[in-house]
Amino acid sequence: MISHGRILYALIIKDWLLFWSDRRTFFFSFLVPVILASAFGLVFERPAPGTASYPRLPVSVVVEDSGPFTEAMVRELLVSPHLQAQQVDRATAMVAVRRHRVPVAIIIPEGFEHAATQRKSLWERPKSESRPQLELLYDASRRGEAEWASGILAEILLKQLCSQQLSPWMSADWQSWLPFQVVTVPVAYHSQSRFNTYTHSFCGMTLQYLLFWGMESGLLFLRERRGAVWWRLRAVAAPLKTLVAAKVLTTAGVGCLQVLVTFTFGWLVFRVTIDGSLVGFVLICLAMCLLAAATGLLVAAWGNVEGHARNISIVVILSVSMLGGLWLPAFLLPEWVREVAMVLPTTWAMQGLSAVTWQGAPFRTVLPEFAGVCAFSFLLFLLAVGRLHYLEKRSV
């Protein structure tokens, strides 16, 4: 008497051997996610604010006027910790902005000194026609940088005006004269938590390549299903539920190995850590592996021609990866995209992973994400198994 367990064991061994025999799948499951996660982390890595390597906004400064007020202002621009300013002439600045070398050029036009200093006091309301004009030329594709430069310029200009009007009462440390303080506080589950681009990229790429592995596993199942080997499996009285169970277990098992390899590499090389609940992390990863297995079953059940199924799956996986915030953090996406993305399992999985890794969330916090990913997996599983049963009835 052959038990279901023995058939299941034989099928799992078979799928395991098939996985290791295919170098391409091995390469795409283990090496590519590690390489891409490292590359994404490297590209998007930013030093912490206040450090020497924190990026400054490159600007060109064009001075067409002269005078002590202008000179002081230019000096402030050149030494600003927020700017990487360089003084050039107007033609050079125009060329630099047009050719995308600098996003912004600040032009101090002729007559600026006179217009800026003619007021007797800060309380005197200036006439609109006599207000000094500053020009801000910006790269048309970089509006955000123009706004940033405008803010910094306003701060420096006001500081100079205050210094001029309140001198000699105001000391050089003008920040101490401000009637308020701005304190920046990073909000996370853990007080020591800091956003780490490598953690984000390793979470995202692991999830994306789990889905790709699910797709490969599904395509293998599709090949089996459409070939004579399927009938041979059915001839040995292997029930459909056992064949499906073997496929789910193998896909999820290889997925777990993939998560282990990717995160171990991230931890060893880029200090990617799990600051939150380890149990929560394991649960989310298990749910992701089940999602990959369900995705594979869906491909196997609804796919027809392998090439078409592969192409459609790749497009779908890349789309849900992008919308789910696997490539770039979700906060960079527009509001409507973030709202739409809530119907995607990748969004829930990524939120859960981010929470238990760099945000340091406790176990209970990620239970909704865990349940969400499991629910999506179950739904895909039902769709796949229903279709497989239908095809089975039709073909036997």
Q: Is 245 in the site for other proteins (CB under 8 A)?
A: no
Q: How many residues bind other proteins (CB under 8 A)?
A: 25
Q: Is 7 in the site for other proteins (CB under 8 A)?
A: yes
Task: Name the minimum Å distance from CB 245 to other proteins.
Answer: 14
Q: Is 234 in the site for other proteins (CB under 8 A)?
A: yes
Q: Is 228 in the site for other proteins (CB under 8 A)?
A: yes
Q: Is 227 in the site for other proteins (CB under 8 A)?
A: yes
Task: Name the minimum Å distance from CB 34 to other proteins.
Answer: 24
Q: Is 27 in the site for other proteins (CB under 8 A)?
A: no
Q: Is 233 in the site for other proteins (CB under 8 A)?
A: yes
Sign of the torsion angle spanned by Cα atoms 7, 13, 18, 24: positive
Task: Name the minimum Å distance from CB 11 to other proteins.
Answer: 8
Q: Is 342 in the site for other proteins (CB under 8 A)?
A: no
Report d(CA 291, CA 373) in Å as an integer.
7
Task: Name the minimum Å distance from CB 311 to other proteins.
Answer: 22
Q: Where are the alpha helices (DSSP H) in the chain?
A: 4-21, 23-26, 32-44, 68-79, 90-98, 112-117, 143-166, 197-226, 228-235, 240-270, 278-302, 306-323, 335-340, 345-356, 367-395
Task: Name the minimum Å distance from CB 366 to other proteins.
Answer: 38
Sign of the torsion angle spanned by Cα atoms 238, 241, 247, 252: negative
Q: Between 10 and 136, name the residue whose CB sits nearer to other proteins.
A: 10
Q: Is 39 in the site for other proteins (CB under 8 A)?
A: no
Among 17, 158, 332, 343, binds other proteins (CB under 8 A): 17
Quick check: 342 and 257 in contact, CB under 8 A? Answer: no
Among 177, 231, 378, 390, binds other proteins (CB under 8 A): 231
Quick check: 194 and 48 in contact, CB under 8 A? Answer: yes
Task: Name the minimum Å distance from CB 25 to other proteins.
Answer: 10
Q: Between 238 and 293, name the residue whose CB sits nearer to other proteins.
A: 238
Q: Is 241 in the site for other proteins (CB under 8 A)?
A: no
Q: Which of residues 158-217 bind other proteins (CB under 8 A)?
A: none
Task: Name the minimum Å distance from CB 248 to other proteins.
Answer: 18
Task: Name the minimum Å distance from CB 237 to other proteins.
Answer: 4
| Of residues 372, 199, 202, 381, the one with CA closest to residue 287 | 372
> Which window, 80-88, 146-154, 232-240, 362-370, contacts other proteins (CB under 8 A)?
232-240
Among 104, 238, 353, 366, binds other proteins (CB under 8 A): 238
> Which window, 56-64, 65-73, 105-113, 224-232, contacts other proteins (CB under 8 A)?
224-232
Query: Maximum Cα–Cα distance for the chain, whole Å?
Result: 104
Quick check: 161 and 122 in contact, CB under 8 A? Answer: yes
Report d(CA 158, CA 90) in Å as an integer.
24
CA 157 to chain centroid, in Å, comes to 36
Phi, psi of 60 (to 5 degrees): -105, 135
- Extract the tokens encoding 244: 């499906």
Among 184, 235, 268, 364, binds other proteins (CB under 8 A): 235
**Cβ of 71: how many Cβ atoms within 10 Å?**
13
Q: Is 390 in the site for other proteins (CB under 8 A)?
A: no
Among 140, 182, 236, 268, binds other proteins (CB under 8 A): 236
Report d(CA 206, CA 346) in Å as an integer.
11
Q: Is 60 helix (H, G, I), strand (E, B) or coil?
A: strand
What residues contact residue 380 under an 8 Å CB cut-off, 6+ apart?
291, 294, 295, 297, 298
- Extract the tokens encoding 232: 């041979």
Cis status of the peptide bond prior to 168, with omega within 30 of 0 = yes
Q: Between 13 and 42, name the residue whose CB sits nearer to other proteins.
A: 13
Residue the block writes with tokens 């592995």: 213
Q: Position 143: which residue type?
A: R
The residue ranges that bind other proteins (CB under 8 A) are 1-2, 6-7, 9-11, 13-14, 17-18, 21-22, 227-229, 231-238, 396
